[in-house]
Amino acid sequence: MSFPIWMSGIQQRTESALEAALPAPGLAPARLHQAMRYSVLGGGKRVRPLLCHAAGSLFEADSSVLDAPSIAVELIHAYSLVHDDLPCMDDDVLRRGKPTCHVEYDEATALLVGDALQTHAFQVLSSRLPGIAAARQLDMLHLLAVASGSRGMAGGQAIDLAAVGEQLTISELEFMHIRKTGALIRAAVLLGAHCGEAAPDALESLGHFANRIGLLFQVVDDILDAEASTATLGKTAGKDAAQNKPTYVNILGVSEAKAMAGKLRQEAHDALAPFGQSALRLHELTDFIVERNF
Amino acid sequence: MSFPIWMSGIQQRTESALEAALPAPGLAPARLHQAMRYSVLGGGKRVRPLLCHAAGSLFEADSSVLDAPSIAVELIHAYSLVHDDLPCMDDDVLRRGKPTCHVEYDEATALLVGDALQTHAFQVLSSRLPGIAAARQLDMLHLLAVASGSRGMAGGQAIDLAAVGEQLTISELEFMHIRKTGALIRAAVLLGAHCGEAAPDALESLGHFANRIGLLFQVVDDILDAEASTATLGKTAGKDAAQNKPTYVNILGVSEAKAMAGKLRQEAHDALAPFGQSALRLHELTDFIVERNF
């Protein structure tokens, strides 16, 4: 199966799984449920679910089992976007080519949407997964919580807030992004591997891989923010510069940032060496992360 | 042991457990961790941990095991208060006698504090609990997630938002409060019982009990909001009337609201009948909920 066909299949099954997992739009409180669905469905490239499925396929995990951690991670990601777009944070009006949640609904609803999407991630991942030992599933929940919390994604957001207008070094910027973007990408990869009952050494190799693509994802994001248009991105372009946020591009310049992306891409491929040919999808996703234009 | 001494002991051990479970104030991102601790420690009567320990003691659950669900529920409660106090929600400046989180820090930090406290609740409850089967612990996590999400607490908040300025019937008000306050109180009771490996029929009886005290708690809250002073409450009094929110007091009047509280109190005591004398602490807590002045 070609990569685009595989990718499109995972994106479609992720959309269906999210659609089925989210409360129905007519269920009370209907406005909240509609706003949750608005913020999650019908958009996004589903990079984290793709990584989760690709990592799981390395260990021949069942796709139907992989849907649960995939959508749990995607729900965490979606909640972070809704809260990140709020006026007290990035104050953004456009996301995935649509008005942001607080613009389409209102600020209080967007706050509750983010809150409830986070809870829903843990609700999904605490439903019993067939074929997964309960003890391993608890470890998976713990992994997702650590990746999302104050030492992971939420902590990265806090560091990002504090960094506005500051001069950061490359290592300070890396410290932030390992948390803000990297932690959840790492969780997506490792949760997929857990579904295939991966052994500790395989988890360790995948952890190294995930750390590289987490940073790679961010470096490419910074390059796109500097170079692409709002229409292509489906979100406001040039935002980081306008908000005076430190990025790889404004610390290193575009050309050195691209060189850094090339180096991280190679390191990510190298980290997959232990898995040989069976890591095809993860290799392809690594290239996809670099070559995307969104 | 007298009730006040028992209560004070649980409050102290809850404070210590929260103190130990929250990230240290010097750990990066330090401002976020300090604000999380500010919002959780040193205040609150810890009603939900008291209920969790009291329900667990019915089945001779180990107190050290009960600490985990107790603080998980309290962290969810604390996150909901931080977000509820934000300008786009209740816009309140006083909580537990101190400036609210967004007043003491800033709005973006308070948003992230609430987010990270919610995550931390799931992190705490997904750490392996000694003596609890992993499958039961997964069920406990699921119970907490359902109680906190869009069909539970967050959903209740959304209904509350929509109800401002509306005329609700008693049954609509009950529908809201069963979610907004009741769901988490019920979770506290049931999680405690799970720690003692309670059987399904015992869980069902405790569910009935919890539903009564959840509503009782809210009716008493409305009476206090109408009658007590800001100094006594440690939060802004008269807020519901000022915000034109429907309450038991403004639908029923104070005297009928008090009669309703008396009826719910009796029903709560009755629901404990199957447990005989061993439910002493739950009986005492029921009376405490009615007789409190905070």
Which whole number is the average pLDDT over A139-148? 98
Q: What is the pLDDT of residue B294?
A: 63
Residues 6 or more apart from B283 whose CB is under 8 A from it? B269, B272
**Bridge partner residues of B95 (DSSP):** B98
Q: Per-residue pLDDT for A154 more than 70?
A: yes
Return the amino acid letter for B83.
H
CA-based end-to-end distance of chain A: 24
Tokens representing B154?
């967050």
At B164, the pLDDT band (50, 70, 90 cuts) reads: confident
The pLDDT-based confidence of A158 (bands split at 50, 70, 90) is very high
Pairwise CB contact (< 8 Å): B120 & A29:
no
Lowest mean pLDDT among A162-166, A195-199, A203-207, B209-213: A162-166
Name the CA dihedral angle for A182, A188, A190, A194, rounded to a multiple of 10 degrees: 170
Nearest CB to A145: which of B112, B123, B154? B123
pLDDT of residue B277: 92
- Confidence band of B231 (pLDDT split at 50, 70, 90): low
Average pLDDT, integer, range B106-126: 98
Residue A270 has pLDDT above 90, yes or no: yes
Q: Whole-number mean pLDDT of chain B?
A: 94
State the alpha helices, DSSP H only, in chain A: 3-21, 30-40, 47-58, 63-84, 101-104, 107-126, 134-148, 153-163, 170-177, 183-195, 200-227, 230-233, 239-242, 248-252, 254-271, 280-291
B148 touches chain A (CB under 8 A): yes
Tokens 């997630």, residue located? B145
User: Would you tell me how many other CB atoms lie within 10 Å of the CB of residue A20?
Assistant: 10
Closest partner residue to B118 among A108, A118, A155, by Cβ? A118
User: What is d(CA B156, CA B148) in angstroms, rounded to the nearest whole number?
Assistant: 9
Cα distance between residue A279 and residue A6, in whole Å: 14
DSSP state of B35: H
Distance CA B239, CA B284 (A): 29
CA distance A178 to chain B (A): 13
The pLDDT assigned to B166 comes to 83
The nearest alpha carbon in chain B to A163 belongs to B29
Residues of chain A contacting B175 with CB distance shorter than 8 Å: 28
More confident residue, A246 or B93: B93
Nearest-10 crossing angle of helices B107-125, B30-40: 70
Q: Is A154 on the interface with B (CB under 8 A)?
A: yes
Q: Which bin fits A91, alpha (ψ -120 to 50), beta or left (φ > 0)?
A: left
Does residue B70 register a pLDDT over 90? yes
Query: Looking at the complex, does the CB of residue A278 fall below 8 Å from at least one CB of chain B?
Result: no
Q: In chain B, whose CA is at the least distance from the CA of A116?
A: B149
Give the residue on B whose Cα is nearest the Cα of A127. B142
Residue with tokens 């806090």: A158
A291 three-class SS: helix
B82 touches B101 (CB < 8 A): yes
Instruction: Check: CB of residue A74 under 8 Å from CB of residue A223.
Output: no
pLDDT in tens, B143-162: 999 999 999 999 999 999 99
- Does B230 have pLDDT greater than 80? no
Place of tokens 């489906």: A234
Judge whether residue A188 has pLDDT over 80: yes
Going by pLDDT thresholds of 50, 70 and 90, the confidence category of residue B229 is low
pLDDT for position A232: 65
List, for residues A85-143, the tens digit of each pLDDT value: 999 999 999 998 899 999 999 999 999 999 999 999 999 999 999 999 999 999 999 99
- Predicted pLDDT at A231: 63
pLDDT for the residue B241: 67
Contact B83 A111 (CB under 8 A): yes
Residue A142: which of B123, B142, B150 has the nearest Cβ?
B123
Chain B residues 101-140 with CB within 8 Å of chain A: 106-109, 111-112, 114-116, 118-120, 122-123, 126-128, 133-135, 137-139
B91 CB near a chain A CB, below 8 Å? Answer: no
Question: Which of B22, B119, B164 to mutate: most A Cβ within 10 Å?
Answer: B119
Per-residue confidence at A19, pLDDT binned at 50, 70, 90? very high
Q: Give the pLDDT confidence of A42-87 residue by residue, as tens digits.
A: 988 999 999 999 999 999 999 999 999 999 999 999 999 999 999 9
Ordered domains of chain B (ranges, CATH): 3-291 (1.10.600.10)
Q: What is the pLDDT of residue A245?
A: 81
By CA distance, what is B152's nearest residue in A?
A116
